[in-house]
């Protein structure tokens, strides 16, 4: 039997080592991820808190599960849920991904969701469309709230550099499963058509070094010709730190997210924070997060039409409205307050005690 001596529930995020967890945690305070045996400091995966043994030994009131459980089996997740129940630890689940962007449509991931979503004491998600899908599939009502800002506060009103060339930016990184190379090819063709018509435009394409190795599991031979194509500004490097990434997104005019599937997008939120126009696929529910441009991933012509439209709008000074820094910070604090209420409610229902009282 555990006891708490403060009015704040003792909470473990899975994972805590992700910016989203900090952005929703009341007071911006986090219990760190438990160390992973044999892993370097700061690596939270595979997460030890997903083990029943951790649950039975843990001094927590609540667990908030976000992601990072796709390596588990449904049987393992059922055992984990049973351990939480046995210890009277509340479970909050945020459904970030109805389709895992690293796996694609996957029956086993669906099975994992079918364990944790029905078992949760509270479910949250980021868009009405995702909430509707959760209700249809599992009969669960979700608390829907906006994604808090991703970039540091200082970047929320950082100046946008001026330049003469209209730049479409794509971060292909290491070509995770959701990244659609054919859409990237069509985007390059659209930029080339604008350039051939005399417009000063370019496609800035970021790629991680590892994926250019033919032995890499996600190597795609179509990438090398794109990197060498006219009107493509190829940037080949390792993962960028936050300052380099945010600085780059400030410096592009249109961020393209060429995803074949997905649910929500933190990348989209970064562009919103920085006042960068963004073009996203209608697959999933990301287009509900913020005002964005969209293209139809099924249509071969849609991406070209939308890039041309974005360029035309840029020429007439039609730009996305950048949110005020104060408004974005206030939204984050509202989301934290919502989570504080949610955690108190779950703790009261699961533990049967008022905050601060003994179990």
Write down the domain spans for the chain: 11-148+331-351, 158-315
CA–CA separation, 90 vs 348, rounded Å? 9
Q: What is the percentage of the chain residues whose pLDDT exceeds 70?
A: 96
Percent of the chain surpassing pLDDT 90: 89
The per-residue pLDDT for range 313-348, each reduced to its tens digit, is 998 877 788 999 999 999 999 999 999 999 999 999
Count of CB atoms situated within 10 Å of the CB of 218: 15
Q: Domain 11-148+331-351: which topology?
A: Rossmann fold (3.40.50)
- What pLDDT shows up at residue 7? 43
Contacts of 228 (CB under 8 A, 6+ apart): 234
CB of 143 within 8 A of CB of 123? yes
Could you tell me if 162 and 272 are in contact, meaning their C-beta atoms sit under 8 angstroms apart?
Answer: no
One fold for both 11-148+331-351 and 158-315? yes
pLDDT of residue 14: 98
Flag whether pLDDT at 359 surpasses 60.
Answer: no
**Fold classified for 158-315:** Rossmann fold (3.40.50)
DSSP string, 146-160: PPPP-S-GGGTTPPP
End-to-end CA, the chain:
6
């Amino acid at each position: 039997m555990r006891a708490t001596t403060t009015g704040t529930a003792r909470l473990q995020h899975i994972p805590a080592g992700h910016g989203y967890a900090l952005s929703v945690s009341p007071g911006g305070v986090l219990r760190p991820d438990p160390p992973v045996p044999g892993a370097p400091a700061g690596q939270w995966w595979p997460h030890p808190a997903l083990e029943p043994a951790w649950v039975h030994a843990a001094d927590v009131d609540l667990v908030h599960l976000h992601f990072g459980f796709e390596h588990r089996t449904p049987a393992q997740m059922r055992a984990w849920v049973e351990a939480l129940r046995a210890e009277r630890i509340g479970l909050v689940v945020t459904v970030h991904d109805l389709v895992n962007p690293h796996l694609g449509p996957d029956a086993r991931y669906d099975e994992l969701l079918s364990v944790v979503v029905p078992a949760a004491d509270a479910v949250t998600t980021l868009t009405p469309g995702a909430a509707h899908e959760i209700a249809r599939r599992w009969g669960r009502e979700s608390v829907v709230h906006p994604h808090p800002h991703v970039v540091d506060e200082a970047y929320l009103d950082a100046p946008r550099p001026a330049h003469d060339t209209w730049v479409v930016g794509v971060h292909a990184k290491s070509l995770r499963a959701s990244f659609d190379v054919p859409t990237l090819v069509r985007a390059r063709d659209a930029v080339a058509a604008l350039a051939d018509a005399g417009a000063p435009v370019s496609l800035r394409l970021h790629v991680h070094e590892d994926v250019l190795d033919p032995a890499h599991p996600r190597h795609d031979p179509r990438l090398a010709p794109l990197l060498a194509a006219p009107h493509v500004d190829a940037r080949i490097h390792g993962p960028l730190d936050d300052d380099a990434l945010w600085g780059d997104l400030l410096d592009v005019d249109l961020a393209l997210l060429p995803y074949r599937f997905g649910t929500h997008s933190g990348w989209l939120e970064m562009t919103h924070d920085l006042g960068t126009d963004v073009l996203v696929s209608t697959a999933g529910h990301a287009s509900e997060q913020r005002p964005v441009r969209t293209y139809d991933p099924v249509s071969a012509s849609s991406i070209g039409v939308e890039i041309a439209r974005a360029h035309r709008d840029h020429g007439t000074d039609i730009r996305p409205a950048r949110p005020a820094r104060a408004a974005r910070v206030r939204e984050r604090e509202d989301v934290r307050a919502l989570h504080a209420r949610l955690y108190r409610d779950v703790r009261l229902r699961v533990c049967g005690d008022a905050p601060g009282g003994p179990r």
